[in-house]
Structure 1
Amino acid sequence: MDITGLKIPHSYVVTPKVHSDDRGDFWEWYKFDQLAEVVGHPLDLRQANASVSRKGVFRGIHFAELQPGQAKYVSCPFGEVLDIVVDIRVGSPTFGLVETVVLSDKNRRAVYLSEGLGHGFIALTDNAVVTYLVSSVYNPQREHGINPLDPVLGLNDIANLELSLSPKDIEAPSLQQALEQGLLPTWEDSLARYEQLSVERGSL
């Protein structure tokens, strides 16, 4: 398994080694110890989610408030999606940066993003299945979103598809509006949270 950092600090793409023969494929899609060594602490798994989306569905951009925040380990066991990470941490050297990674049932990749980062994806095929391992249970009072069609993010035409969004995501504030409303985490608070997690959980 190869774990490579993205340009946005504290986000990673995970590429497993797939073993194939005439019976099919086998791969390790999540390794507790190897991820912990790279991230600095283990993923404290609290909830596992899955979604099925038709082609063109855009889910996101979502994030949870720090304390506890919600780290995510995202994969696509069937179909293909364009996974999206957005640095929404005010004061981060990459604030506002958007990175995309294709996840599919062919490349078997996953994406890990730490607490304080925004996340979403666009389904590139029908019946695209996405699984999420997350570090905290869903708390609607502490969940927020950024409008994925905010021109600042540059995602409107990224997949060359007719996009389908939920009313909630369409009505979400722009990145600038979320900043003005005080919804976004700060770089300093995010770093403090990562340090806290490293102390509490150790490297393994």
Structure 2
Amino acid sequence: MIITETKLRGCFILQPKIFKDSRGSFFEIFKKKELEQHLGFKIDFVQENKSISKKGVLRGLHFQTGEAAQAKLISVQKGEVLDVIVDIRPESLTYGHHVKINLSDQNFTSIFIPKGMAHGFLSISNEVVFTYLCDNYYNQNMESGILYNDSDLAIDWGYTSSEFIVSEKDLILPTFKELT
């Protein structure tokens, strides 16, 4: 497995070595010991979530606050997404910066997102099955988010927003400035 840190400290891209033969293919999605070596700390995932989305669905930008903050390991089981992570750690040198990466069932790439990041994705294939492991349990009272089209973040989602299917809840999220 190749593990590469993004420009956001603590946020890693995981690319598996894929073994193919006449039967099909095999690869490791996650190896705890290897990831912990890169992180410099132990990780204990306690919850796995799955979402299924049709083309154009934009989910995010979400995060959990306080003691409910979550680190996540994200992958796509079916389809393709444009995945976006925003650094919302005030002490970070990349505070307010974001990274984008395409995740798909063809590139088998995963992302580790540390606590202190907002996360969202845009479904760019007809159907997406998206899974993520979390190191903390979801707490509805501690959920928060940032408006996906916040002009201060200047995220280029690669498509016009008229094509997006966004929940009413996500359409009224605060801007980045309103959180600070």
**Does the 8 Å CA contact 2:82/2:157 hold for their aligned counterparts?**
no
Shift of 1:68: 4.4
Which runs of 5 or more residues in structure 2 are unaligned? none
For residues 5-56 of structure 1, the C-alpha deviation after alignment (integer angstroms, 9 at most, x for no partner) is 0001110100001111221111100111000111112321110000111111
**Per residue, is there more helix in 1 or in 2?**
1
Correspondence list, 1:143-182, <5 A: 143-155=143-155, 157-161=156-160, 162-179=163-180
**Per residue, is there more strand in 1 or in 2?**
2
What stretches of structure 1 move > 3 A for 4+ residues in a row? none
Number of aligned positions between the proteins:
178
For residues 120-149 of structure 1, the C-alpha deviation after alignment (integer angstroms, 9 at most, x for no partner) is 111110111110000011101111010111
Give, in whole Å, the separation in 1 of the partners of 2:66 and 2:76.
26
**Does the 8 Å CA contact 1:150/1:175 hold for their aligned counterparts?**
yes
**Does the 8 Å CA contact 1:66/1:115 hold for their aligned counterparts?**
no
Aligned-pair identity in percent equals 38
TM-score where L is the length of structure 1: 0.84
TM-score where L is the length of structure 2: 0.95
**Does the 8 Å CA contact 1:73/1:132 hold for their aligned counterparts?**
yes
Shift of 1:158: 2.2
Give, in whole Å, the separation in 2 of the partners of 1:135 and 1:103.
21
The amino acid that maps onto 1:159 is G
Correspondence list, 1:5-154, <5 A: 5-154=5-154
Query: Secondary structure of 2:37's match?
Result: helix
Which runs of 5 or more residues in structure 1 are unaligned? 180-204
Give, in whole Å, the separation in 2 of the partners of 1:28 and 1:164.
33
**Does the 8 Å CA contact 1:63/1:145 hold for their aligned counterparts?**
yes
CA RMSD of aligned residues (A): 1.1
